[in-house]
Structure formats: structure tokens, C-alpha cells
Amino acid sequence: SRLEKGVRDRWGWISRDDRQRMTAMNGEAAGAIGEIVGAVAVVVWLLSLALQIRAQDEESRLAAIRESAPSWTELLEKLLDPDLIGVRDALNAGGIE
């Protein structure tokens, strides 16, 4: 009989079958929650990765600018060198005599 199984739904007892179904549902719910947590973790990881890549790109761009700055400075110094101004003017005038 139902009382022998320990089932008295009116008084708050849950049948074994119902308990097994609830356990299965709790397992499924835990699995679903685990999937959601995993998906959120992947999204957070991807956002973090995107921010790191953006920062690295900016750093690489600034490093390239820093490396090229001395070259421009040297070029300007050579163009403004008083010894070379006469040669430059001669070249611009049509040739060196």
C-alpha cells in the first residue's frame, strides 16, 4: 500500500518515484546551470582576449612610431646640415658645376 512505501502526499511525504523524478530533474537543472556558467565564462574570456589584443596592437603601433622617430630626426638633421645646403641648392638649380 502507499503507506508502506512512505508516501503520504497530504502530509508532506514524497513518494519514491516522485523523489527519483525530482533527483533526475535536479541533475538536469544542474547540468543546464553548468552550461550557462560555462557559456558566460567563454564570453568573459573572449572579451578579455579582445581587450588584450587591442592593447597589444596599440602598444605595437606606438613602438613602431618610437622606432621610426630617430630616422626622421636624422633625415631632418642631414637636410638642414649647412655643409649640404649648397649641394642641395645646386641640385635644385639644375646641376653641380
Q: What is the pLDDT of residues 19-78, one digit of tens each?
A: 677 676 677 788 888 899 999 999 999 999 999 999 999 999 988 888 877 777 787 777
pTM: 0.47
Residue 1 confidence (pLDDT): 43
Whose cell is 518515484? That residue is 17
Q: How far apart are the first and last CA of the chain?
A: 124
Q: Which set of grid coordinates corresponds to residue 95?
A: 646641376
Using pLDDT thresholds of 50, 70 and 90, give the confidence band for residue 4: very low
- Cα 84 versus chain centre, distance: 51
Buried b / exposed e along 65-75 (16+ C-beta atoms within 10 A): eeeeeeeeeee
